[in-house]
Amino acid sequence: MTTHTLRSKRRRSALRNAAFMSPWLIGFSFFFAYPMVSTVYFSFTSYDGFGAPAFNGPANWTYVFRDYPMFWPSLWNTLWLVLVVVTCRVVFGLGIGLLITKIKTGTGVFRTLFYLPYLAPPVAATLAFVFLLNPGTGPVNAILGDFGLPTPGWFNDASWSKPALTMLAVWGIGDLMVIFMASLLDVPAEQYEAAELDGASAWQKFRFVTLPNISPIVLFAVVTGVIQAMQYYTQPLVAGKVASGVIGGSGQSFEPGYPDKSTLTLPQLVYNLGFQRFDYGAACVVALVLFALAMAFTALLMRGRNNLISASD
């Protein structure tokens, strides 16, 4: 075979491969690469969405990191929610999945009951929680008061608003429960039998049989949970608005992140800066920070995955 024929064959092969990959390549270029490059570019410009962008160097970056008073509180809130909400959702999702796979009767009923909240629209669910946890008129505090227990301010108290949001997130745990149930039912029964013959306790069976088998699912739940928590927008925004007394009425101003910026998250800043203040440049900086955080968390988790899975093996 001549060199020319070989080259021609390789070129044809490369073209064929590219043709097969083209749907992905087109999607990647238009929906990831192009927005990504644009976001980086806009972060170095003064751009209001109406006129042409004008290069302004690192001005947006210094503004966001040094002069924008909402950035650091919202970064802290986002990290808090990532750590606490993801942990709680995975622990409770797995716990409920374990319980439901163990019970003998009424499995269908419980499965439905725990799954239903996941189907509730986020705005409706948040409104219901704000109503239930209203410190003045809500039934939760009325019951707590009847038992002589402390009655927190929930969404009206900066130290309780994030725990209240966590409760809301844990309430809608149906998605994780279903995934964990499927993986738990997939664990080979003979491994449990062998562990029982060896005299393993319930905890030892969970630690040395269940967990190693479901560790890829746990990793999946954590990685997707982290990304979801980074994008947490609707629930904190609605909770903050409603609890601060602003429900409707165009033109009304409200305290972002009420109370005391405690429900302010990075996605809210992207919206506020870009779409309300017409400052695309600064909004792009916050979006890139979110992207970098999501990448860092995912890289850490993927690195930890090998240890987790190898330790399990």
Partner 1 sequence: MRTSRLTTTAVAVAAISVLATACTGQSEAGASDDPDAKTTINFWHGWSAPAEVKAVQDNIDRFEKAHPNITVKVSGNINDDKLNQALRAGGSDGPDVVSSFTTANVGKFCSSGAFTDLKPFIEKSKLDLEKTFPKVLLDYTQFEGKRCALPLLTDAYGLYYNKDAFEKAGITAPPKTMSELTEVAEKLTVEKGDTYQQLGFMPNFHGYETVVSHYMPSWDHAYFDENGKSNIAEDPAFAKMFTYQKKLVDSLGGYDRLEKFRGTFGDEWGAKHPFHTGQVAMQLDGEWRLGMAEDAGVDFEVGVAPMPVADDEADSYGKGYLSGTIVGIAPASKKQNAAWELVKFMTTDTEAVVNFSNGIRNVPSTLEALKSPDLKFDPRFQTFLDIAQHPKSSTSDGAVNGATYQLTLQDFGYQYEKGAVKDLQAGLEKTAKQIDTDIAKAK
In the bound state with partner 1, the residue whose beta carbon lies nearer, of 227 and 246, is 246
Among 134, 161, 210, 268, binds partner 1 (CB under 8 A): 134
Asked if residue 124 binds partner 1 (CB under 8 A), the reply is no
| Contact set for partner 1, span 141-200 (CB under 8 A) | 153, 156
Q: If binding means CB under 8 A, how many residues of this protein chain bind partner 1?
A: 42
In angstroms, give the least distance from the CB of 61 to partner 1: 12
Out of 244, 293, 294, 301, point to the residue binding partner 1 (CB under 8 A).
Answer: 244
Per rule CB under 8 A, is residue 260 in the interface with partner 1?
yes
- Helix (H), strand (E), coil (C) string for the chain: CCHHHHHHHHHHHHHHHHHHHHHHHHHHHHHHHHHHHHHHHHCCEECCCCCCCEECCCHHHHHHHHHCCCHHHHHHHHHHHHHHHHHHHHHHHHHHHHHHHHCCCCHHHHHHHHHHHHHCCHHHHHHHHHHHCCCCCCHHHHHHHHCCCCCCCHHHCCCCHHHHHHHHHHHCCHHHHHHHHHHHHCCCHHHHHHHHHCCCCHHHHHHHHHHHHHHHHHHHHHHHHHHHHHCCCHHHHHHHHHHCCCCCCCCCCCCCCCCCCCCCCHHHHHHHHHHHCCCHHHHHHHHHHHHHHHHHHHHHHHHHHHHHHHHHC
Q: Which of 108, 148, 150, 249 binds partner 1 (CB under 8 A)?
A: 249
List 7, 11, 67, 149, residue binding partner 1 (CB under 8 A): 67
User: Is there binding between residue 245 and partner 1 (CB under 8 A)?
Assistant: yes
The CB-of-159 to partner 1 minimum distance in angstroms stands at 13
Residue 294 in contact with partner 1, rule: CB under 8 A = no
Q: Is 262 in the site for partner 1 (CB under 8 A)?
A: no
Using the minimum distance from each CB to partner 1, give the nearer residue, 250 or 307.
Answer: 250
- Residues at the interface with partner 1 (CB under 8 A): 34, 37-38, 41-42, 47-53, 59, 63, 67, 69, 134-137, 153, 156, 244-253, 255-256, 258, 260, 275-279, 282
